[in-house]
Amino acid sequence: MSAPLRLMAVHAHPDDESSKGAATMARYVAEGTEVLVCTLTGGERGSVLNPKMDRPEIVANISEVRRQEMEKARQILGVRQTFLGFVDSGLPEDENEPLPDGCFALQPLEVASAPLVAAVREFRPHVILTYDDDGGYPHPDHIMTNKVSVEAFEAAGDPDRYPGLGEPWQPLKLYYHMGFTRERFEALHQAMTDRGIGSPYADWIARWEDRPQKWDVTTRVPCGEYFEVRDQALIAHATQVDPDGFWFVCPRELQREIWPTEDYHLARSLVDTETPEDDLFAGIDVCDRTSTHP
């Protein structure tokens, strides 16, 4: 019997795993894939975004509360999860505001990457999911997450780099999340408008005029039947997600009809594959699943 496929999702904060690629992970878990979420920070500087949870006792213990939320979401998704120990950098109000001393985004690249390299060598993923080089949106922790993910992908298989952090393991494919594309939101906006449902997406679409899409979508993973699991995982992050808010305005059945996939850009591949893809593991041969080399 071949070894199971392994998927690693690298995220900046607890809740990111539920808003980006959650249905994909739930699908692969159901199919027998081993999935590990690596969360680089604890979300210590995150605000309480759900007004129903904006209470003094929660604000005072936000770090512990967010870890508890992460555990609930992890159980819902059926994944493994680990915190890699860095401190949330916060989101500056403007680009000139200095970041806090010691935060994740200010770490030297090799310091920030070392725990992820160790995690890659221990878990031995065939595929890694992360953000693009703009972070998906320009949060300093998201941008740094891209940098350390690329570094770990390129370094974990090299025995001369990061010595003492485990036996080398070379992942085979690296993807960027592409869930927040103009094409997707225009399709959902039009479908809601056609059905007389108020759409919240008009302002988002208008803002895309100033931010052209940098990466193309190469891979669309069908996972509509797991949108409910995704939504349950999102709701588990109660300080961050209002169950009556933006995330849930578009009916789930309409999402399944109009856009039943989660989408990605194939940023690195050490196996032969043809795009467009509908599977993150496309091109990965059975023999690759137990090898430290492509």
For the chain, which residues make up each domain, given as ranges? 6-180+215-290
Distance, CA of 139 to CA of 43 (rounded, Å) = 12
- Per-residue model confidence (pLDDT) at position 246: 84
**Which residues line the annotated binding site for Zn(2+)?**
13, 16, 142
Q: Model confidence at 293, in pLDDT bands (50, 70, 90)?
A: very low
Mean pLDDT of 46-62: 92
Which residue type sits at 13? H
**Which residues line the annotated binding site?**
13, 16, 142
Q: Whole-number mean pLDDT of the chain?
A: 93
- Per-residue model confidence (pLDDT) at position 17: 98
Nearest to 250 by CA among 199, 207, 190, 180: 199
Topology classification of domain 6-180+215-290: Rossmann fold (3.40.50)
Q: Using the predicted structure, report yes or no on whether residue 231 has a pLDDT greater than 80.
A: yes
Residue 240 CB neighbours (<10 A)? 24
Strand ranges inside 47-105, DSSP E: 80-86
- Per-residue model confidence (pLDDT) at position 286: 56
Mean pLDDT of 34-55: 95
- Per-residue model confidence (pLDDT) at position 289: 47
The sign of the torsion formed by the CA atoms of 134, 256, 186, 218 equals positive
Whether this prediction's pTM lies above 0.75 is answered by yes
Q: Model confidence at 294, in pLDDT bands (50, 70, 90)?
A: very low
Beta carbons of 280 and 173 less than 8 angstroms apart: yes
292/38: higher pLDDT? 38
